Amino acid sequence: MEKVEVKDAKGKLGVLVVGVGGAVASTFIAGTLSVRKGVGKPIGSVTQLATIRLGKRNANHFPKIKEVVPLAELDDLVFGGWDLFEDNIYEAAKHAEVLKQEDLNLVKDELEAIRPMPAVFDRNYVKRLQGTHVKPEASRRRLTEQLQEDIRRFKAENGCERLVVMWAASTEVYISQSAEHESLEAFEQALDENRTDLISPSMCYAYAAISEGAPFIMGAPNLCVDMPAIGELAERENIPICGKDYKTGQTLIKTVLAPMLKTRMLGLDGWFSTNILGNRDGEVLDDPGSFRTKEVSKLSVIDTILQPEIYPELYGNIYHKVRINYYPPRKDNKEGWDNIDLVGWLGYPMQLKVDFLCRDSILAAPLCLDLVLFSDLALRCGFSGIQSWLSFYFKSPVHAPGSVPEHDLFIQHTILKNTLRQIIGEPTLDYLD
């Protein structure tokens, strides 16, 4: 296998986060700073802890990924971003109540030095929040230009060689893809015509990032990187994009259990999922418009894995229901319940019940770190457009038009590692040895 030409990861890598003061982003940043200071462990991070098998099985060669793949060093990361509220990241992290005070105090000075830039905000897209640290009202084109100016200024002031822009902000309301989203020309015309009903804030961020040479990571399920116009822009500018919707709790469980049912040819009658969540994400998803966006993302997983059109006798009549309930006392400590009605030999019914008491931002933070490092790697490899090899990290993976997204966690994991093998010139594994 010919080795990919990878540019050196020299110099500072700027990490600009949309929603930088939110629970996910502040946990990601505080945790990364703790790890590089030697006072925290990067548990959950593939780039920092996972190994990769190289060569035949009898070679018994399992180096850590970060030892053989040319990733950026944690010491080279510089953090910034935009938020609806002006608190520095230390204050924001205290407000989020994910990490303990004593853990935040270990990196307090660094967190206090990170202050968000005013955000692009339109309450029509996130109805449950009222931003107080936002850019003055302007046309969509002008707001996008202001974001481009922010990116250039941050890069210059911090001496960054490269940038990655990541969306860790709230889920926007559901909108359907329209003709204005289907080509870059039509999208730019809508941008110039200030079509606020079609151009969301997240689309402004994506357009600004890609046009400034920064990979864009979409961590929410709203329409953005999955529309042809943004894909066309990414291909034109030779910039990687990936998304959408970080795969953390309940959907992570689904991408493990659904393949188990399918590989054993067990039937499925119904899958009921409900969550309680009390952080800002839960408050936003209490709005029906934002919940609809999340619901579409969550519902897509089972059908794609189980292929009911191929196995109608097993999966042709599944009742799949998803609920998210805002419950403030839980804060970031989400609880997801799943009731699974499955069918076995001769049609006899069985049940499987899962109660996952997880911590939403604790699960999301290592994903953010991995996606930043892998997106930067993709940029230095000269990869452009949709990075389907990063589907491992997303609930609703963006995929090339006409292709079927892969949701099976273990197949996604194999694709991820085989791509890394290709990058370093090692043979991919088919596990037949």
- pLDDT tens-digit map of 31-66: 999 999 999 999 999 999 999 999 988 889 999 999
**Using CA atoms, how far apart are residues 321 and 333, in angstroms rounded to an integer?**
22
**76-88 pLDDT tens trace:** 999 999 999 999 9
70 and 179 housed in the same domain: yes
Does residue 277 carry a pLDDT above 60?
Answer: yes
21 and 88 housed in the same domain: yes
**229-246 pLDDT tens trace:** 999 999 999 999 999 999
Provide the whole-model pTM.
0.94
Neighbours of 159 (CB within 10 A): 10
DSSP code of residue 56: -
Work out the pLDDT band at 24, boundaries 50, 70, 90: very high
Examine residue 35 and state whether it is found in any structural domain, yes or no.
yes
Does residue 298 carry a pLDDT above 70?
Answer: no
Q: 317-353 in b/e burial notation, b at 16+ Cβ within 10 A?
A: ebeeebebebeeebbbbbbbbbebbbbeeeeeeeeee
Give the DSSP H/E element, type plus range, for residue 322. Answer: strand 319-326
Work out the pLDDT band at 372, boundaries 50, 70, 90: very high
How far, in Å, are 180, 187, 203 from residue 195 at the CA level?
A: 9, 10, 12
Angle formed at CA 27 by CA 26 and CA 31, multiple of 5 degrees? 115
293 and 337 housed in the same domain: yes
Our count of domains for the chain comes to 2
Work out the pLDDT band at 332, boundaries 50, 70, 90: confident
Six token digits for residue 214: 């920064």
Work out the pLDDT band at 297, boundaries 50, 70, 90: low
116 and 230 housed in the same domain: yes
Q: Of 299, 322, 357, which residue is a domain's last?
A: 357
Does residue 407 carry a pLDDT above 80?
Answer: yes
Does residue 105 carry a pLDDT above 60?
Answer: yes
285 and 145 housed in the same domain: no
Enclosing domain of residue 86: 12-246+362-423
**Using CA atoms, how far apart are residues 332 and 323, in angstroms rounded to an integer?**
17
Work out the pLDDT band at 252, boundaries 50, 70, 90: very high
108 and 42 housed in the same domain: yes
DSSP code of residue 194: T
Look at 269-283, 306-320, 364-378 and tell me which has the smallest mean pLDDT: 269-283
DSSP, residue by residue, 227-266: SHHHHHHHHHHT-EEEESSB--SHHHHHHHHHHHHHHTT-
73 and 204 housed in the same domain: yes
Examine residue 296 and state whether it is found in any structural domain, yes or no.
yes
The DSSP bridge pattern shows strands 77-83 and 12-18 to be parallel
- Identity of the amino acid at 260: M
Does residue 285 carry a pLDDT above 90?
Answer: no
Query: CA nearest 215: which of 16, 415, 5?
Result: 16
